[in-house]
Chain A
Amino acid sequence: MRRVAVVVFPGSNCDADTLDAATAAGSEAYYVWHRATDLRGADVVILPGGFSYGDYLRSGAIARFSPVMQAVAAHAQDGGTVVGICNGFQILCEAGLLPGALMRNAGQRFLSRPVRVRVETTDTPCTTVYTRGEEITVPVAHGDGRFVADERTLRELEAEGRVVWRYVGENPNGSAREIAGVCSASRTVVGLMPHPERRNSAALGGSDGARVFLSLEAGHATQHAGDVRAAGGHHAGL
């Protein structure tokens, strides 16, 4: 059982869903308030979705200076897993733990609906129990989801297989190269715009997002050889 810390910022609103999804996957999940400086022995840190600090200035710009972020950065530095979902992804970009930035959707409108994404790599802590190339349905709910980065960074992300999820069929927000999620060079820090925690059971319209949390519970290091992928990409518990 892995310890999953869900950070709560003022304005987070997906913290409870994220905690539930991690718990449902078998993890020992608990909240950490943004003023805390101790992650209490977390294996995985999740920055959940929401509107931290009202998205003032820029989404994630102020949350990145919350006291807890020093501990999050140190955790990432030590090779610990950090996952940012939606606003969490924006915070990780602002903090420089992930490259690029998330700007206003190209269509100007806030989008809240399911989208199709392709799992581009299973070599991240969030995607070990998916199958590479698999297409899944997960919801987005964001106003600032257009991923941008300079051309050199985009080429580097592609060359190193660091695009984790990519929109397919349509690009809902105008993201560069249809990017919906990326990981760090170390592969242990992951940002996703869609909300896997909102799609983790049949009652929520599908369970395509559940495997993000099952992957986190399964642990990344043991998956590298592809043992889970060899079993059809499905977790034994599914």
Chain B
Amino acid sequence: MPAFRVEVRVMPRAALLDPQGQAVQHALHALGFAEVGTVRAGKHLVLQLEAPTGDAAAARARAMCDRLLANPVTEDYHVLVEAA
């Protein structure tokens, strides 16, 4: 079965306060990066998995997000699949 490298990006919902992103933004401003606007901090997971096709790999990864990798109340996710 073909192997895939799946990247999962999990981000806090845009409407929700992201104190970690805010703290990073403040630190960047303190370092003189005054041009920085909003900063949002999320998670980036990289999975190696086997699947018949890329679409099948993406479907499995989305199922993993729905069950575990992202919290549907607070987070959105994005799945990117490439051949390993």
Q: Give residues in A with beta carbon < 8 Å to B.
A: 57-58, 61-62, 65, 93-94, 100-101, 103-108, 146, 148-150, 174
Contacts and interface: CB of A to CB of B under 8 A. Distances in A.
Contacts of A149: 73
25 contacts: A57-B43, A57-B69, A61-B68, A65-B68, A93-B73, A100-B73, A101-B71, A101-B73, A101-B74, A103-B12, A103-B16, A103-B17, A104-B20, A106-B19, A108-B19, A108-B20, A108-B22, A108-B23, A146-B17, A148-B16, A148-B73, A149-B73, A150-B73, A174-B17, A174-B19
Nearest to A103: B74
B73 A107 contact: no
B69 A107 contact: no
B28 to A, nearest CB: 15
Nearest to B20: A104
Nearest to B13: A148
Contacts of A58: 71
Interface of B: 12, 16-17, 19-20, 22-23, 43, 68-69, 71, 73-74
Contacts of B71: 58, 61, 94, 101
**Chain A residues touching B, majority SS:** loop
Contacts of A61: 68, 71
A105 B19 CA distance: 7
A94 B23 CA distance: 26
Contacts, number: 36
A238 B19 CA distance: 42
Contacts of A148: 16, 73-74
A93 B73 CA distance: 10
Contact of B19 (A62, A93, A94, A104): A104
Contacts of B19: 104-108, 174
Nearest to A150: B73
**9 A-B pairs closest in CB distance:** A101-B73, A108-B19, A101-B74, A104-B19, A108-B23, A101-B71, A106-B19, A58-B71, A103-B74
Contacts of A150: 73
B68 A57 contact: yes
B56 to A, nearest CB: 23
Contacts of B20: 104, 108
Contacts of B74: 101, 103, 148
Contacts of A103: 12, 16-17, 74
Contacts of A101: 71, 73-74
A149 B74 CA distance: 8
A107 B22 CA distance: 10
Contacts of A105: 19
Nearest to B68: A61
